[in-house]
């Protein structure tokens, strides 16, 4: 479902160029729980945001269900992000003057919310354990509860892909466990593909895909030319 082929991302800062990704190739099957791990500065978030068409690679291809994100126009990329991708951020990014249910409905606000969409938002909030907090505002919710609202918001449009950047980074470890339990339950009950950047490997199970990044490449790919074919050696999938 997702094919990343020989992707480079270079940032210019002053006279220096930083190659955040250096010809990275990987494959993520539909419905997988995939973790992007690796040292700080290795390119994890850069890869995640490329998958969400938040930014364009300098070179390479990113195919999502056969469509090349890089060849899309700005308008097509906006549609892709709006319709196909749910984002979960470390800092929740809720709107403070909206209730929990209205925060979940944010993706639909520009075009008007239907009764079916509202019902889906209420159902998702109930499934993440916030059925009795629908009208609470973010300041009335704990960090873990706010992240649960953000998870419901990411899933309400039934996206193809959910991208999470350190979703438990601002939470204590017990709350973090709870967030991963919820993410996993929601992911297993749908065919959504979930890609999570994390420093915390506690949540990885043998069923998950682990993309280990080092220096802008999958670990182990350093000595090899990036190839659009074959299984990159940094991919481990214990199935």
Ligand X SMILES: Nc1ncnc2c1ncn2[C@@H]1O[C@H](COP(=O)(O)OP(=O)(O)OP(=O)(O)O)[C@@H](O)[C@H]1O
- 154 or 213, CB closer to ligand X? 213
Minimal distance, residue 7 CB to ligand X, in Å: 12
- 54 or 113, CB closer to ligand X? 54
Residue 31 falls in which region: left (phi positive, over 0), alpha (psi -120 to 50) or beta: left
Question: Which residues make up the interface to ligand X (CB under 6 A)?
Answer: 11, 13, 18, 20, 38, 40-46
- 41 or 129, CB closer to ligand X? 41
Burial 159-170 (b: 16+ CB within 10 A, else e): bbbbbbbbbbeb
3-state secondary structure of 6: strand
Minimal distance, residue 204 CB to ligand X, in Å: 16
Q: Which two tokens stand for residue 65?
A: 């269900």
Instruction: List the one residue out of 76, 50, 64 whose CA is nearest residue 160.
Output: 64
Minimal distance, residue 230 CB to ligand X, in Å: 25
Q: Report, in this order, helix, strand and coil percent for the chain, each rounded to 5.
A: 35, 25, 40
- 145 or 165, CB closer to ligand X? 165
Give how far Cα 193 sits from Cα of 49, 65, 68, 205, Å.
15, 12, 17, 16
Minimal distance, residue 140 CB to ligand X, in Å: 30
Minimal distance, residue 108 CB to ligand X, in Å: 30
Give how far Cα 95 sits from Cα of 98, 101, 137, 146, Å.
6, 11, 9, 10
Long-range contacts for 74-81 (Cβ within 8 Å, ≥24 apart)? Answer: 77/53, 80/53, 81/52, 81/53, 81/54
As a whole number of angstroms, the distance between CA 219 and CA 215 comes to 8
Minimal distance, residue 196 CB to ligand X, in Å: 12
- 141 or 209, CB closer to ligand X? 209
- 45 or 99, CB closer to ligand X? 45
């Amino acid at each position: 479902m997702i094919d990343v082929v020989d992707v480079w991302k270079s940032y210019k800062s002053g006279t220096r160029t930083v190659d955040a990704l250096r010809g990275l190739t990987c494959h993520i099957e539909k419905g997988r729980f995939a973790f992007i791990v690796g040292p700080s500065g290795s390119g994890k978030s850069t890869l995640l945001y490329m998958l969400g068409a938040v930014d364009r690679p300098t070179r390479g291809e990113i195919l999502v269900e056969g469509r090349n994100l890089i060849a899309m126009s700005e308008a097509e990329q906006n549609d892709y992000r709006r319709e196909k991708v749910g984002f979960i951020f470390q800092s929740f990014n809720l709107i403070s003057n909206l209730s929990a249910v209205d925060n979940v409905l944010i993706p639909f606000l520009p075009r008007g919310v239907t009764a079916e969409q509202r019902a889906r938002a209420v159902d998702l909030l109930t499934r993440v354990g916030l059925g009795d907090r629908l009208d609470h505002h973010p300041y009335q919710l704990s960090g873990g509860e706010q992240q649960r609202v953000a998870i419901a918001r990411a899933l309400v449009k039934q996206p193809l892909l959910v991208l999470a950047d350190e979703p438990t980074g601002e939470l204590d470890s017990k709350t973090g466990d709870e967030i991963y339990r919820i993410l996993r339950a929601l992911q297993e009950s749908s065919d959504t593909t979930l890609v999570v950047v994390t420093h915390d490997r506690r949540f990885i199970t043998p069923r998950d895909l682990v993309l280990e990044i080092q220096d802008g490449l999958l670990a182990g790919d350093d000595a090899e030319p990036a190839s659009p074919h074959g299984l990159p050696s940094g991919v481990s999938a214990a199935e």
